[in-house]
Structure 1
Amino acid sequence: MEMLQDPESGISLPQKRYYRQRAHSNPIADHCFDYPAHPDDVNWQELYPNLTEGQCVEFADIGCGYGGFLVTLGDMFPDRLAIGLEIRVKVSDYVMDRIKALRILHPGKYNNIACLRTNAMKYLPNYFRKAQLDKMFFLYPDPHFKRAKHKWRIINQALLSEYAYVLRKEGLVYTMTDVEDLHKWIVQHMLQHPLFERLTNEEEISDPITSKLYQSSEEGAKVVRNKGAHFLAIFRRL
């Protein structure tokens, strides 16, 4: 449970109503981003104050939204680094401010999570080396319902090769959506790619992260409140 305010310092968590932004963003448009030419150019120490030599980011929450699941990862894996990538300006600002506040409210915690504003469809290899990541999360991605916009979907055949590049062997891709058509699209494209296989139902259930995927993110919690359906699929990098 997140502490809302420190009575001594007056520090409190940011309020989402001051960071509202439209839900959709065109990932193919020319947004203004600063991005590194090479993963070695990233100053990770700025994002993770307690970074030790040889330590690297292993978890990536792609399109992290308001950071609810990212915070859950921080709690579940205190000794591993997780990054949230978000394309929307105000939303990424909120996550960054939320992490800063959490670090003050809970000294010694949440130094293992951070957020970057970037376009994951374009710049993943600029941030992550080959086989660096152990887990990638695509939770409630924009479904881009119109057929003409399917090329904007975060799971597509061209991008899967980039995901396979930054994932280590046996690394996992977690996908969750409340849109059945998008779920079928994801499963179809992942299984068509030679470097991914789907986990069995037994493997999905036994993964300790699986139960957290349903409500940890704000979007997931909204689906639960509305009694909507969840469609889960987890894939292993071969």
Structure 2
Amino acid sequence: MAGPAKKRQKREDNRQEGQMPQKKFYRQRAHANPFSDHDLTYPSCPAAMDWSQHFPAFTVAKAVSSTDALDNDHEHENIQQISQQVAVADIGCGFGGLLFALAPKMPKTLILGLEIRTSVTEFVQEKAKALRNQNGDSGLYQNVSCIRANTMKFLPNFFTKGQLEKIFLCFPDPHFKARKHKARIVSTTLASEYAYVMKPGGNVYTITDVEDLHLWMAEHFEAHPSFERVSDEELERDECVQTMRTETEEGKKVERNNGTKYVVVFRRLEDPPWP
């Protein structure tokens, strides 16, 4: 425990109000085991999530009756809610390169990063605060935040059915060994969960530099009845694809090493009518 404590102390010693966090003080192992019992805090359901602390500029006060209030000991309770729902999620957002590139391009859309590593999550949160302070009354970066979460276990705890318009899966852990494939961020079960939280017409964006993982993700989404593959011609016109290619930390690393980036995007289909 001495190592992390010293690193946290260095962060505190070098932190100055309103200034950008220094990435070197937030470094952590590249990947975390999603099956471990991490010390996570998550809501029992999406309605129990307090988003106001993450998007304060979009917060509104609302009186809630006792039937809807989380605290049933009071007839009425003023709770903080946000004026709109999160619409874009970057799962495994890392140090937030994609988040902060998308935020000014989509200023009226709430964008959320989900990251399982504690120090990396804290870095993104601190950077969001610093960018908000630096941009003052312009309103820039008020629409972006990050939470620590294990989406392989708790995605429906945060998002309602049909809520998300875009999901990004950028350079996920390839888990090369066959016995580790169950830990990949795309599987038959997880594709169903992505379909549940996605709005019909929304897109799941994937990118990796590992061809085997690329084929794996494409295969699982193609096999799922709720998704269809987006054509290469349409991808060329999608600004999010270009941003995803160039703005993530891993994407820049692949670029420096002259590696190949494999991109595939799937659109959420309308559910068939009930018989």
Normalised TM-score (structure 1):
0.94
Max radius of gyration: which structure? 2
Correspondence for 1:86? 115
CA RMSD of aligned residues (A): 1.2
Structure-1 residue corresponding to 2:207: 176
Of 102-111 and 169-178, the range deviating more from structure 2 = 102-111
- Output one character per residue of 1:106-147: Cα deviation in whole Å (capped at 9) or x when no partner: 112111000000101011100000000000000000101111
Compute the displacement of 1:175 (Å): 0.2
Q: Aligned runs of 1:40-189 on 2, under 5 Å?
A: 40-51=47-58, 54-107=83-136, 108-189=139-220
8 Å contact from structure 2 (residues 102, 243) kept in 1: no
- 2:235 corresponds to which residue? 204
Aligned residue type for 1:46: Q
Q: In structure 2, how many angstroms separate the alpha carbons of the residues matched to 1:24 and 1:206?
A: 32
Mapping for residues 222-233 of structure 1, pairs under 5 Å:
222-233=253-264
Question: How many Å separate the matches in 1 of 2:256 and 2:243?
Answer: 15
SS in structure 1 at match of 2:53: helix
> How far 1:54 sits from its partner (Å)?
4.0
Helix, strand or coil: the match of 2:52? helix
- Say which SS state the counterpart of residue 263 (structure 2) adopts: strand
Per mean C-alpha deviation after superposition, the further-off stretch among 214-223 and 132-141 is 214-223
Kindly tell me the number of residue pairs found equivalent between the two proteins.
230
Moved over 4 A (4+): none
Deviation at 1:11, TM superposition (A): 3.4
Distance 1:47 1:196 in 2: 30
| CA distance in structure 2 between the aligned counterparts of 1:10 and 1:190, rounded to whole angstroms | 44
Report the residue type matching 2:218 in the other structure: V
Residue identity opposite 2:220 in structure 1: H
Matched letter for residue 124 of structure 2: V
Higher relative contact order (CA 8 A, sep 6+): 1
Partner Cα distance (1:180, 1:111) in 2: 36
- What is the one-letter code of the residue matched to 2:135? H
The Cα shift of 1:10 comes to 7.0
Query: What TM-score, normalized to structure 2?
Result: 0.82
- The correspondence for 1:34, drawn from 34, 37, 41, is 41
Deviations 1:9-34 (A, max 9, x none): 97321111101111111001111111
Task: Give the 3-state SS of the residue equivalent to 1:211 in structure 2.
Answer: helix
Q: 3-state SS of the aligned residue for 1:130?
A: coil
Per-residue CA deviations over 1:137-177 (Å, capped at 9, x if unaligned) read 00000101111100000001111111000001011000000
Q: Deviation digits for residues 51-92 of structure 1, max 9, x if unmatched?
A: 155411000000000001000111110001000000001111
Partner SS state of residue 209, structure 1: helix
Unmatched 5+ residue regions in structure 2? 1-15, 60-81, 270-275
